[in-house]
């Protein structure tokens, strides 16, 4: 078997949430470059159009769907639009997520709710909807949830985020158990520090640079560092992999700071 065939996504229909920037935009472009038709979902419509334009300019197929992952009606519309354009969604990348910087004692209830709604509830309901539709269509499929190294470790000022990402890892395992026999795989990617526009200023500051000394590989990740694991989990190359969380973190989750 040649790698190009093993990882080929031709005929697959992917839906990527949070595709307007950062990792989600990269995931969408990589899936499209490897043959998938891709539905892009996020709130910032112009940003989605720009990602769509890059994909189509490169010869791929994409549609942009404006929507908030916390809006269940918008979720139904997004799956309907993807189906109408390309057929049943067979790869879901549950990537949309938000962070916060509050210490626990200062955490407002509204902020706790916002983080848990987006990073956990929406991940469950989008996975549930994708799975329902895959089963109804008699399609095998792959659901990929984006967790974090903060799903197994903690840092100050991340209480809601860390709880949400830990839950995503357990959600992935629980869903995989119920769906494996029906041909739907559910896995997670747990990135370490990956430089994207939301954290670039911090990671490239002196304080941020000091963090790299703790990373075994000696550098932060770049968006393209996740391409391989994404393609493995999305394609038939990963056909016997389900319920797992793959850490793509330069080794940081294995070491004590110091």
Ligand X SMILES: NC(=O)c1ccc[n+]([C@@H]2O[C@H](COP(=O)([O-])OP(=O)(O)OC[C@H]3O[C@@H](n4cnc5c(N)ncnc54)[C@H](OP(=O)(O)O)[C@@H]3O)[C@@H](O)[C@H]2O)c1
CB of 10: closest distance to ligand X in angstroms?
Answer: 26
Specify the stretch interacting with ligand X by CB under 6 A; choose among 22-30, 32-40, 50-58, 206-214. Answer: 22-30
**Residue 143 binds to ligand X (criterion: CB under 6 A):** no
Contact letters for ligand X, residues 65-84 (x by CB under 6 A): ---xxx--------------
Judge whether 240 counts as a catalytic residue. Answer: no
- Residues 236, 72, 78: CA angle, nearest 5 degrees: 50
Among 248, 189, 251, 194, which residue's Cα sits nearest to residue 221? 194
Q: Are 78 and 18 in contact (CB under 8 A)?
A: no
One of 81, 135, 174, 198 touching ligand X (CB under 6 A): 198
The encoded tokens of residue 42 equal: 């996020």
Query: Alpha helices of the chain — where are they, by DSSP H?
Result: 3-6, 22-33, 45-57, 72-86, 109-116, 122-136, 159-179, 200-203, 206-211, 227-234
- Contacts of 146 by beta carbon, 8 Å cutoff, 6+ apart: 23, 93, 94, 95, 97, 168, 188, 189, 191
Q: Is 4 left (phi over 0), alpha (psi -120 to 50) or beta?
A: alpha
**Residue 118 binds to ligand X (criterion: CB under 6 A):** yes
The encoded tokens of residue 177 equal: 């158990």
Contact letters for ligand X, residues 208-247 (x by CB under 6 A): ----------------------------------------
In the set 161, 193, 220, 247, the catalytic residue is 161
**Residue 151 binds to ligand X (criterion: CB under 6 A):** no
Specify the stretch interacting with ligand X by CB under 6 A; choose among 12-20, 28-36, 171-179, 236-244. Answer: 12-20
One of 7, 9, 13, 22 touching ligand X (CB under 6 A): 22
Active site residues: 161
- Site residues, ligand X (CB under 6 A): 17-18, 20-24, 42-44, 47, 68-70, 95-98, 118, 146, 148, 191, 193-194, 196-199
């Amino acid at each position: 078997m040649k790698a190009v065939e093993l990882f080929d996504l031709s005929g697959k229909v992917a839906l990527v949430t949070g595709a307007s920037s950062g990792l989600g935009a990269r995931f969408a472009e990589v899936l499209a470059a490897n043959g998938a038709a891709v539905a892009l979902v996020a709130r910032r419509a112009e940003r989605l159009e720009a990602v769509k334009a890059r994909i189509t300019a490169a010869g791929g197929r994409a549609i942009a769907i404006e929507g908030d992952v916390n809006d269940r009606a918008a979720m139904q519309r997004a799956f309907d639009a993807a189906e109408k354009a390309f057929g049943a969604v067979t790869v879901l990348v549950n990537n949309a997520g938000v962070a916060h910087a509050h210490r626990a004692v200062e955490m407002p209830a509204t902020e706790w709710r916002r983080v848990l709604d987006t990073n956990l509830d929406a991940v469950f309901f989008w996975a549930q909807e994708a799975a329902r539709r895959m089963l109804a269509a008699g399609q095998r499929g792959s659901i990929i949830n984006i967790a974090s190294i903060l799903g197994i470790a903690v840092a100050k000022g991340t209480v809601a985020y860390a709880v949400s990402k830990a839950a995503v890892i357990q959600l992935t395992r629980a869903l995989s158990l119920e769906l494996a026999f029906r041909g739907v795989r559910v896995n997670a990617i747990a990135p370490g520090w990956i430089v994207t526009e939301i954290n670039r200023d911090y990671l490239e500051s002196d304080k941020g640079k000091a963090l790299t000394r703790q990373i075994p590989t000696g550098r932060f990740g770049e968006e393209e560092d996740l391409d391989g694991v994404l393609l493995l989990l999305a394609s038939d190359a990963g056909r016997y992999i389900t319920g797992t969380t793959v850490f793509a973190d330069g080794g940081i989750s294995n070491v004590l700071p110091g």
